Amino acid sequence: MKGINYFCEMQQKNLLIGGPGTGKTSVLNELMKLAYECFPEVSREVILNARQKGIDQLFLNKPLLFSEMVLKGREQQYLEANKSKSEIVFFDRGIPDIHAYMDYFKTEYPSSFKEKSKHYKYDKIFHFSPWKEIHKKDNERYESFEETVEIDVFLMKAYLDLGYTIINVPFGSIKDRTNFIINSLSCDL
């Protein structure tokens, strides 16, 4: 694996978390360029598929259906990673994000959401704090910066409640943030 000069006996699953527009996807794309195995955000695909079927904002119209679809996609990614021979993998968002968002929107959901968050474990959680200078809306990201700040509180709570240690990624260039993450990797699984 490029950039890593040690061998991990087990696969290390690393997760990028944070509210919308905090730079996760840009760093994930940089990690892909460095030949790391990466799994992109599932919700964008769910949103685009819904739009093709004429549903503009599936999460706002049917939050439980949207969340079930995202959960299925994230579970699939996790299982796909398990089959991979890659020593180190990265995910753009994880399974606990789903119930964090449902809590933020005060929407009821089945207990299986939290049960799956406990079942599918990640090794390192890299948190991207809200950063006003880089936040922008797009066709799939409609949250304001203020909403991103609020969502971030729920994301942090979800992961801390599950007992994770969170590594805060400092503000900086995409390259600096990527290097910070790579330098934080270890095989202490």
pLDDT tens readout for residues 163-185 = 999 999 999 999 999 999 999 99
Provide the token pair at 115. Answer: 């049960």
- pLDDT category at 80 given cuts 50, 70, 90 is very high
- DSSP-derived letter for residue 11 is P
Provide the token pair at 5. Answer: 């000069």
Q: Which residue, among 76, 13, 14, 71, has the nearest Cα to 43 in the 3D structure?
A: 71
- Please name the residue that has the structure tokens 């769910």: 46
Structural domains in the chain, CATH included, are: 12-184 (3.40.50.300)
Answer whether residue 112 shows pLDDT above 80.
yes
Q: Are 78 and 70 in contact (CB under 8 A)?
A: no
